[in-house]
Amino acid sequence: MALRNIRVLGDEILTKKAKEVKAVTPHIKELVDDMFDTMYEANGVGLAAPQIGVLKRIVVIDCGDQPLVLINPQILETSGEQTGQEGCLSVPGKVGEVTRPLHVKASAFDIDMNEYTIEADDLLARCICHELDHLEGVVYVDKVEGELYDVSDEAEEIDE
């Protein structure tokens, strides 16, 4: 198990576009393992490689159902709308309201470089959109409606 440092808002790497993964090498597998370790340690539900300083199109997500690895992910379809609280491991202690699609269909490659599609609703749909934004150099604070506010004890925290 290896933890990586999570980059925080203000770090230029969070504004950069990540590059496609050509092949899953042992180095990439180690990176993905470290991403899961880092995400779980920080009590997050999603993490994108740029958040640990690696400009590759890799995302890990665990919203409670099962751990997901998304390599070179692409959103194929979206529908509906949800507005709700969102946070980010790169913006510690803050949350804000963001509107996202309610349903998302996406394609990605898994850790064995097999392509798959995933259909997601609710929190998982929100999480996929949030993490894919990171691959484009976009942090959710650019999409917040109103102000960012401090996480309170009562608030339900969703860190991605």
Question: What DSSP string runs through the chain?
Answer: ----PPP-TT-GGGGSPPBPP----HHHHHHHHHHHHHHHHTT-SEEEGGGGT--BSEEEE-SSS--EEEEEEEEEEEE--EEEEEB-TTSTTEEEEEEE-SEEEEEEE-TTS-EEEEEEEHHHHHHHHHHHHHHTT--GGGG-EEEEEEPPSSSPP-B-
**Choice between 89 and 112, CB closer to Ni ion:** 89
- In angstroms, what is the minimal distance from the CB of 144 to Ni ion? 12
Number of residues that bind Ni ion (CB under 5 A): 2
Give the closest residue to 45 by CA, choosing from 24, 77, 67, 73: 67
Q: Is 133 in the site for Ni ion (CB under 5 A)?
A: no
β-sheet with 68-79: strand ranges across: 46-48, 58-61, 68-79, 103-109, 115-121
- In angstroms, what is the minimal distance from the CB of 114 to Ni ion? 26
- In angstroms, what is the minimal distance from the CB of 26 to Ni ion? 27
User: Per-residue contact track with Ni ion, 35 to 74, x per CB under 5 A?
Assistant: ----------------------------------------
Catalytic residue among 86, 97, 115, 131: 131
**Choice between 34 and 160, CB closer to Ni ion:** 160
Would you call 131 a catalytic residue per the annotation? yes
**Choice between 31 and 139, CB closer to Ni ion:** 139
**Choice between 88 and 98, CB closer to Ni ion:** 88
* List 18, 54, 69, 88, residue binding Ni ion (CB under 5 A): 88
Can you read off the two tokens belonging to residue 156? 């339900």
Q: Is 28 in the site for Ni ion (CB under 5 A)?
A: no
Q: Which residues are catalytic?
A: 131
Residues contributing to the site for Ni ion (CB under 5 A): 88, 160
